[in-house]
Amino acid sequence: MGRKFFVGGNWKCNGTTEEVKKIVTMLNEAEVPSEDVVEVVVSPPYVFLPTVKSLLRPDFHVAAQNCWVKKGGAFTGEVSAEMLVNLGIPWVILGHSERRALLNESNEFVGDKVAYALSQGIKVIACVGETLEQREAGSTVAVVAEQTKAIAEKVSDWTNIVLAYEPVWAIGTGKVASPAQAQEVHFELRKWLKEKVSAEVAASTRIIYGGSVNGANCKELGGQPDVDGFLVGGASLKPEFVEIIKAATVKSS
């Protein structure tokens, strides 16, 4: 059932054409473990998707950071899953906490988006995670379970979903979850999948961690039994992203 290590780079709303090309050159020159060991997916802003796709090495893949909840049409400012398919973009990040918090995306809306993207053949990095207040109130597991449930209610096949646990308090703050904190939530998410979806889905679905991952903390986090990789923000714009990709080898060493 081996879960291949997964490293995603979420570039968020950053970059110019020149900066994006520099990052791609850095990635293209990097020596990293083979595709058999690690799946690497980078996610530039929409406007840079064609450039990145055309220049990026073939063993790395590209993700959009969002897509519309249904078929395109009169939805000003949105980008549809069909358009991503048309551009040959295989992945999309959905339910990122920045969109949940700043753009009021509800659990149900995220579930609908995940289902629609999958129906169009796009693979999904689906994000869940609790705020600091929720953690301090002891509701972390209930919150991520509720977010995951909203997805599970809308999809029947988990093959093309990677679940990203991203505690909101750890995103962009430099305040990383400890390996034990990350492992605890990943374990609970896998247990939830086993109980509510199936043992097979629980065993095969990759659950990745995001929130202040960097070159210094990636090995210990990646060494946790239920951590199957990362979704990296800030550090994915820097050369240390290569070190994070290399952390995949902790699973085989």
Decide if 96 is catalytic: yes
H/E segment holding residue 161: strand 161-165
HSE toward the beta carbon, residue 222, CA cutoff 13 A: 28
Q: Do 142 and 136 meet the contact criterion of CB atoms below 8 Å apart?
A: no
Select from 47-55, 131-139, 177-185, 229-237 the region that touches ligand G3H (CB under 6 A): 229-237
- Region of 100 please: left (phi>0), alpha (psi -120 to 50) or beta: alpha
> Looking at beta carbons only, is 185 or 202 nearer to ligand G3H?
185
Residue 212 as a binder of ligand G3H (CB under 6 A): the answer is yes
Judged by CB under 6 A, the residue of 10, 80, 183, 224 near ligand G3H is 10
Strand pairing partners for 93? 125
x/- binding map, residues 84-123, to ligand G3H, per CB under 6 A? Answer: ------------x---------------------------
For residue 251, give both structure tokens: 């699973």
- How far apart are the C-alpha atoms of 104 and 49, rounded to whole Å? 25
Kindly determine how many residues on this chain lie close enough to bind ligand G3H according to the rule CB under 6 A: 14
Per rule CB under 6 A, is residue 232 in the interface with ligand G3H?
Answer: yes
Work out whether 233 is an interface residue with ligand G3H (CB under 6 A).
yes
Tell me which residues touch ligand G3H (CB under 6 A). 10, 96, 166, 171-172, 210-213, 231-235
